[in-house]
Amino acid sequence: MVNDLEDGMLDKFLIAPIRRSSILLGKVLADSSRMAIQALIIIGIAYVMGARIKTGLLGVVGIVAMAVLFGVAWSGISNMVALRTRNAEATTILGILLTFPLMFLSTGFMPDMLLPDWLDTVAKFNPITYLIEALRAVVNNGWEWGTIGKFLAVTAGLSVVTLTAATRAFRKVIG
């Protein structure tokens, strides 16, 4: 997004006979397609290393769908930061400063029953925890609809917040 702002590509998009909302939507869809490809690569490597998905091929589709949905929610954050700062370095740094602590403060490395009380409390408010729990369920246990439902609810809420913020930032940029 920052590169498009700096090299004038956004200006070219704005004079094209397209809906302005399709510009931001295109960025989000590009992010989601990258997430799908990354998820498939990780699943492929895991399969080669001996991992098996209890829910089978349909589970693979579910895992990729969950990665894409969460990726869409998360891309709202980076697009909003990019549009507000107009600085690629700041966007990257904020992404790293947000993603890594949230990953370590989730159930990504240890199940919630083994976490200290304070970390378990933090993990309950962490959207990454819900993604990880849903993915674990699909891979290890089968279709745990309660866990998947929580993931979908949290991700939908996160999407509303992040994509609304990105849309508002986009509207300010295009005036």
Greatest alpha-carbon pair distance for the chain in Å reads 55
Q: What are the tens digits of pLDDT across the range 8-44? A: 777 777 777 878 788 888 888 888 899 999 999 999 9
Q: Are 130 and 151 in contact (CB under 8 A)?
A: yes
Q: Which residue has the tokens 């933090």?
A: 122
How far apart (Å, rounded) are the C-alpha atoms in residues 29 and 140? Answer: 29
Nearest to 167 by CA among 27, 35, 16: 27
What percent of the chain clears pLDDT 70, i.e. is strictly above it? Answer: 100
Q: How confident is the model over 96-102, as a mean pLDDT?
A: 90
User: Which pLDDT belongs to residue 162?
Assistant: 92
User: Which pLDDT belongs to residue 128?
Assistant: 94
Q: Are 5 and 173 in contact (CB under 8 A)?
A: yes
Three-class SS of the chain: CHHHHHCCHHHHHHHCCCCCHHHHHHHHHHHHHHHHHHHHHHHHHHHHCCCCCCCHHHHHHHHHHHHHHHHHHHHHHHHHHHHHHCCHHHHHHHHHHHHHHHHHCCCCCCCHHHCCHHHHHHHHCCHHHHHHHHHHHHHHHCCCHHHHHHHHHHHHHHHHHHHHHHHHHHHHHHC
Q: Of 21-25, 74-78, 126-130, where does the model show the most confidence?
A: 126-130
Nearest to 119 by CA among 101, 95, 99: 101
Q: How confident is the model over 89-93, as a mean pLDDT?
A: 88
User: Which pLDDT belongs to residue 7?
Assistant: 77
Asked whether residue 86 carries a pLDDT value surpassing 90, the answer given is no
Please give the structure tokens belonging to residue 160: 């509303």
Least confident of 4-8, 51-55, 76-80, 167-171: 4-8
Instruction: Return the ∠ at Cα 97 (arms to 93 and 98), rounded to 5°.
Output: 120
